[in-house]
């Protein structure tokens, strides 16, 4: 059987799907790297999904997907950008997601870290921003999860300079019960975060970021860097205190950053490890044996898919992630909070299917083929 896939120029190409998935299985916990997958949420397909409506989540399917990730040894990074935080998932929905996922993690013995930000407010001064962070930090800690201090749109808009970042983050770190993960999310993921850490100059911003860490190294488990700049991440990684991990959030260069060099390596907290979960886990277990070349042989071929999903405008990568979850059978529909399933074109989705199928990511290739053909038929593409 073949599939007629559309290209951006309006032409069709014939693709022959594979018949067998990549052979991967659950295994032992990782020993050489700490690895989180930032997980997507499954929307309720019967709910109002207009952009201004509150998020309606299919909790059974959402939690089932987290169990899938935990079964392969991955940690779950919850209520993050991949879960449409600030792009369909509001704070009320995120708080419920944190509570439910943390309880599920405790029940199955899975590792979980959850995002704490300020998205319950849209503006305010430093005092209001600090209070918003405190509210969310309390929810994460009360749920028993590790906090990830997310970048704040409100702080980016209100800060007068680096001193406000030092004041807000210093206050939060002093009161946090356990070490947190600090998240530097670049403007390619969220344009409202341009100039974060008090400067549009990334070198100056880096110095402020490092100053925050240096003042409270005992309260910082690690940093997640999402700037899509491998050289900058490596330079930053080499300047961290020995006790502070670097979690790569670079969905363009993750194999080389996780593999590392003679001076160190990055751990991982990645949105691309949502669709790549089992394959990524298999690769890390190979790396655990000291076989860096084998790790790269498994993971390097996935970069083309990741770069495709995260192509500009990068913030819409979630559409491709959810689309692949539908094709893989992790959910029964291709519907997203806020109607975000419409954020990528049919040719973009067709190419994502082709690349993912080529990697063997679909547990049931026939189901993926049938669902792809259903979508194509809805768009009027005859087979």
Q: What is the pLDDT of residues 176-213, one digit of tens each?
A: 999 999 999 999 999 999 999 999 999 999 999 999 99
Q: What is the pLDDT of residues 52-110, one digit of tens each?
A: 778 899 999 999 999 999 999 999 999 999 999 999 999 999 999 999 999 999 999 99
Least confident of 9-13, 76-80, 99-103, 314-318: 9-13
Q: Name residues whose C-beta falls within 8 Å of residue 258's C-beta, 6 or more positions apart in sequence.
A: 33, 248, 265, 266, 267, 268, 284, 287, 295, 299
Residue 113 has pLDDT above 90, yes or no: yes
Q: What is the pLDDT of residue 254?
A: 98
Average pLDDT score, the chain? 96
Q: What is the pLDDT of residue 347?
A: 98
User: What sections of the chain are H helices per DSSP?
Assistant: 59-71, 91-108, 126-143, 153-158, 162-175, 202-215, 230-237, 254-259, 277-288, 292-299, 303-309, 317-327, 346-359, 365-378
Q: What is the pLDDT of residue 94?
A: 97
Residue 1 has pLDDT above 90, yes or no: no
Find where tokens 């799907």 sit. 17
CB 243 within 8 A of CB 203: no
Instruction: Report the 10 Å Cβ neighbour count for 119.
Output: 20
CB 378 within 8 A of CB 38: no
Mean pLDDT of 163-173: 97
Mean pLDDT of 41-52: 86
Q: What is the pLDDT of residue 50?
A: 73
Q: What is the pLDDT of residue 178?
A: 95
Q: What is the pLDDT of residues 254-280, one digit of tens each?
A: 999 999 999 999 999 999 999 999 999
Least confident of 23-32, 86-95, 133-142, 253-262: 23-32
């Amino acid at each position: 059987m073949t599939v007629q896939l559309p290209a951006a120029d309006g032409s069709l190409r014939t693709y022959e799907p594979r018949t067998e998935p990549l052979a991967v299985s659950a295994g032992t916990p990782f020993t050489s790297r700490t690895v989180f997958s930032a997980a997507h949420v499954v929307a309720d397909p019967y709910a109002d999904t207009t952009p201004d409506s509150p998020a309606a989540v299919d909790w059974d399917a959402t939690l089932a997907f987290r169990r899938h990730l935990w079964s392969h040894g991955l940690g779950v990074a919850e209520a993050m950008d991949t879960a449409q935080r600030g792009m369909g998932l509001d704070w009320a929905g995120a708080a419920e997601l944190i509570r439910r996922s943390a309880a599920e993690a405790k029940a199955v013995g899975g590792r979980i870290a959850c995002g704490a930000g300020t998205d319950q407010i849209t503006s305010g001064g430093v005092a209001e921003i600090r209070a918003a962070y405190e509210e969310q930090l309390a929810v994460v800690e009360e749920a028993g999860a590790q906090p990830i201090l997310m970048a704040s749109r409100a702080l980016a808009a209100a800060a007068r300079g680096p001193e406000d970042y030092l004041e807000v983050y210093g206050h939060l770190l002093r009161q946090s019960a356990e070490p947190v993960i600090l998240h530097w999310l670049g403007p390619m993921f969220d344009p409202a975060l341009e100039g974060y850490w008090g400067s549009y100059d990334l070198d100056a911003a880096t110095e402020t970021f490092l100053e925050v860490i240096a003042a409270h190294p005992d309260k910082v488990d690690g940093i997640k860097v999402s700037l899509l700049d491998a050289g900058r991440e490596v330079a930053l990684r080499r300047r961290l205190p020995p006790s502070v991990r670097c979690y790569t959030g670079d969905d363009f260069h993750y194999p080389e950053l996780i593999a590392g060099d003679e001076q160190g390596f990055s751990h991982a907290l990645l949105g691309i490890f949502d669709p790549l979960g089992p394959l990524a886990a298999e690769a890390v277990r190979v790396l655990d044996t000291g076989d860096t070349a084998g790790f790269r042989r498994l993971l390097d071929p996935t970069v083309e898919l990741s770069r495709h999903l995260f192509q500009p405008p990068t913030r819409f990568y979630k559409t491709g992630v959810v689309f692949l979850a539908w094709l893989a059978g992790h959910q029964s529909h291709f519907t997203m909070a806020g109607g975000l399933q419409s954020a990528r074109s049919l040719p973009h989705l067709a190419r994502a299917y082709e690349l993912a199928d080529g990697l063997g990511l679909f547990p049931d290739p026939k189901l993926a083929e049938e669902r792809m053909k259903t979508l194509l038929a809805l768009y009027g593409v005859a087979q």
